[in-house]
């Protein structure tokens, strides 16, 4: 293999230079796309983190409301329990009186 004949070189060199230029332009465009993708990724991560923060805040508010509701329900159930206990005492008193009256009547 010797030297490439001059006429082949004259035909191929412009094409090779053109291809080289196109490859460089393509590489530049790929770099630009990579930068855009990186920027979009960063922007999306920022937005996801903001949404995540909002969900955490909402979750905390829901927990507070559930705790408040739980405490309110416990308070109300305690009040109902006290009323039932008072009613039980009254029924016990009525039962005592009835038993006393039955003894008096039976005696």
**Per-residue tens of pLDDT for the chain, all 107 residues:** 456 677 777 888 888 899 999 999 999 999 999 999 999 999 999 999 999 999 999 999 999 999 999 999 999 999 999 999 999 999 999 999 999 998 888 86
Angle at 8 between CA 4 and CA 14, to 5 degrees: 115
Q: Residue 107 has what DSSP assignment?
A: -
Which pLDDT value is given to residue 10?
A: 80
Q: How far apart are CA 66 and CA 5, in angstroms?
A: 88
pTM as predicted: 0.51
Q: Residue 1 has what DSSP assignment?
A: -
Residue positions counted in the chain: 107
Tokens describing residue 4: 């490439």
């Amino acid at each position: 293999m010797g030297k490439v004949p001059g006429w082949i070189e004259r035909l191929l060199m412009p094409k090779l230079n053109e291809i080289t230029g196109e490859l460089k332009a393509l590489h530049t465009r790929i770099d630009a796309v990579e930068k855009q993708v990186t920027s979009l990724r960063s922007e999306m991560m920022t937005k996801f983190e903001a949404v995540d923060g909002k969900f955490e805040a909402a979750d905390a508010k829901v927990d507070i409301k559930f705790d408040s509701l739980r405490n309110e329900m416990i308070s109300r159930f305690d009040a109902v329990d006290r009323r039932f206990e008072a009613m039980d005492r009254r029924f016990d008193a009525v039962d005592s009186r009835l038993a006393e009256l039955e003894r008096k009547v039976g005696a």
